Amino acid sequence: MALKFFNTLSRAVQEFVPLDPTGNNVGLYCCGPTVYDFAHIGNWRTFVFGDLVRRYLEFKGYGVRHVMNITDIDDKIIKRVHETNTPLREFTGKFEAAFFDDLKTLNCRPPHHTPRATEHILEIILLIEKLLARGLAYKASDGSIYFSIEKYRGSGSQYGQLVNLNFEEMRVGERVRSDEYAKEALADFALWKTRVPEDGGVFWPSPWGEGRPGWHIECSAMSMKLLGPSFDLHLGGEDLMFPHHEDEIAQSEGAALQAPGQKFVKYWLHGAHLLVEGKKMSKSLGNFFTLRDLLGKGFNGREIRFLLLQARYRETFNFTLEGLQSARVSLMRIDECLTKLRELAGSIGAQQDAPLLSEFSTALDDDLNVSRAWGAIFDWVRDTNRRLADNSMDAASAAAGLATWEKLDAVFGVGAPSEVEVPIEINALLEARQAARKAKDFKKADAIRDELKAKGWIIEDTPKGARVKKT
Ligand SMILES: [Zn+2]
């Protein structure tokens, strides 16, 4: 079956046909974090969704170039820099580093490029110059440069490709300076914002005087620089559809760098909102969580990633602490099943479990139907446990099961930490206990067992010897 995605551009589920027919150069751009604070769990749903798309494309054999920008200059950052009186780079650097730590905690594959907006001011200026030269941008009386929606539409282009817009209410020439605005405030938007006192020391020289870029132009400039004027996939949260993504299309296609008949982006994928404990996340409701808040409550990256991957990306998902508890139990079921398979198989096999693999890819080909894919995995766990219990599984099918799991987990990325993660000190204690038992010094063996327990590890005696497990 062919891979299909829901494309916001066509409002339909479409087969994925890459621009490069060899499939070796799939361009994937995900709007990255605005580094003014720690990313919250709603943001993380989008980034994990981006990681899933990338991993699944790789699973299907595509060569993917994954770009995720770092917005290190925008209205929100300027405001915080001003409030905290911190130099820009020092301020954003802290949150950028935290973002990359969190990305790792959630086992997301690092994007191939993570361009910073502040390092692409030249590309931004060149793009604005193209828009000015094409008559689609103009300098306002305050010295800022704006994108003219009237001129753009007048040139035969469509503004409102991702969302339906009501132009009746729009007053020609009305402008919006802020990076974020609602559909009702439809107006010409800022490409370059002339320097104002609140910007403090944050400004760059440009042909139009000192100032800074608008948020939307940053993504157009960086994506086209790294992926070319036309690329395959652009992802983001649904809150970015308007104005951010709509403006990206207008700027990028307005500059007319694409080959005739080509669009800026072929497939636009948008992730739905996350509710937390049944409600929209807000600090006043006490349901606003950063990843760190959840780690602080004793959950780990695996459990959080697992939960974020339970619902299909286009569905609103209710993220709860109870859900995280269930995630822990589900992962334990998988881990226990895999441990038993490893004991029986000895090593991972060359053969794979073809029905499981095919059910998994049929589910994900269908616009990333993760619920169905998990359903297939848990059916397999149940069936495997049954076969293990009645001794009807041989070493070869255990090895095949393990090989299949490795393949599926390259997509979901929730695999169990392997034995090598047992600290050396703990392994040494385990060996000392074995030695004591061998020497029939059971008092010493028990003392070591208690010591391990105090350190959070319990010993399990199996037919293949003893091993430790975290309590
Ligand atoms: Zn963006």
Strands (E), 327-462: 457-462
Quote the pLDDT of residue 86.
93
Number of other CB atoms surrounding residue 16 within 10 Å: 20
- Give me ligand 1 centre to Cα 217, in Å: 8
What CA–CA distance (Å, rounded) separates 232 from 27? 5
Give the pLDDT score at 460. Answer: 80
75 Cα to the center of ligand 1, angstroms: 14
Alpha helices in 199-320 (DSSP H): 215-227, 246-254, 291-296, 301-308
Nearest to 251 by CA among 221, 283, 207: 221
CA of 426 to the centre of ligand 1 (A): 46
Give the distance (Å) from ligand 1 centre to CA of residue 250: 13
Ligand 1 geometric centre to CA of 316 (Å): 21
Distance of CA 219 from the midpoint of ligand 1 (Å): 5
Q: What CA dihedral angle connects 18, 20, 21 and 26, to 10 degrees? A: -50
Task: Report the separation in Å between the CA atom of 267 and the middle of ligand 1, taken as the mean of its atom positions.
Answer: 15
Ligand 1 center–CA 293 separation, angstroms: 26
Whole-number Å distance, alpha carbon 43 to ligand 1 midpoint, is 13
**Separation of 120 CA from ligand 1 center, angstroms?**
14
Separation of 216 CA from ligand 1 center, angstroms?
6
Report CA(74)–ligand 1 centroid distance (Å).
11
> How buried is residue 175: exposed, middle or buried, by Cβ count under 10 Å (0-12/13-18/19+)?
middle
> Ligand 1: distance of its center to the CA of 63 in Å?
22
User: How far, in Å, is the centroid of ligand 1 from the Cα of 162?
Assistant: 14
Find the 471 Cα to ligand 1 centroid distance in Å.
43
Cα 185 to middle of ligand 1, angstroms:
20
**Ligand 1 centroid distance, CA of 440 (Å):** 66
How remote is the CA of residue 200 from the centroid of ligand 1, in Å?
25
Low pLDDT (below 50) residues in the chain: 420
Pair 227, 65: CB distance under 8 Å:
yes
Do the beta carbons of residue 218 and residue 245 sit within 8 Å?
Answer: no
Q: How far is the CA of 264 from the centre of ligand 1 (A)?
A: 14
Per-residue confidence (pLDDT) for residue 274, from 0 to 100: 94
Cβ atoms of residues 319 and 307 within 8 Å? yes
224 CA → ligand 1 middle, Å: 12
Which pLDDT score, from 0 to 100, does residue 386 have?
A: 97
CA of 148 to the centre of ligand 1 (A): 20
Nearest Cα to 54, choosing from 46, 42, 45, 62? 62
> According to the model, what pLDDT value does residue 421 have?
60
User: What is the Cβ-side half-sphere exposure of residue 393, based on CA atoms within 13 angstroms?
Assistant: 25
Calculate how far, in angstroms, residue 68's C-alpha sits from the geometric centre of ligand 1.
9
Span from the CA of 342 to the centroid of ligand 1 (angstroms): 44
| Ligand 1 center from residue 238 Cα (angstroms) | 12
Q: For residue 281, which phi and psi values (nearest 5 degrees)? A: -65, 130
CA of 143 to the centre of ligand 1 (A): 25
Q: 321 CA distance to ligand 1 centroid (A)?
A: 30
> Ligand 1: distance of its center to the CA of 163 in Å?
16
3-state helix, strand, coil in the chain (%, to 5): 50, 15, 35
**How close is the Cα of 244 to the center of ligand 1, in Å?**
7
Residue 235 CA to ligand 1 center (angstroms) comes to: 9
CA of 239 to the centre of ligand 1 (A): 11
Q: For the residues of 55-104, what is the DSSP string, one character each?
A: HHHHHTT--EEEEE-BB--SHHHHHHHHHHT--HHHHHHHHHHHHHHHHH
pTM of the model: 0.88
* Distances, alpha carbon 329 to alpha carbons 73, 299, 334, 458, 461, in Å: 42, 12, 9, 18, 22
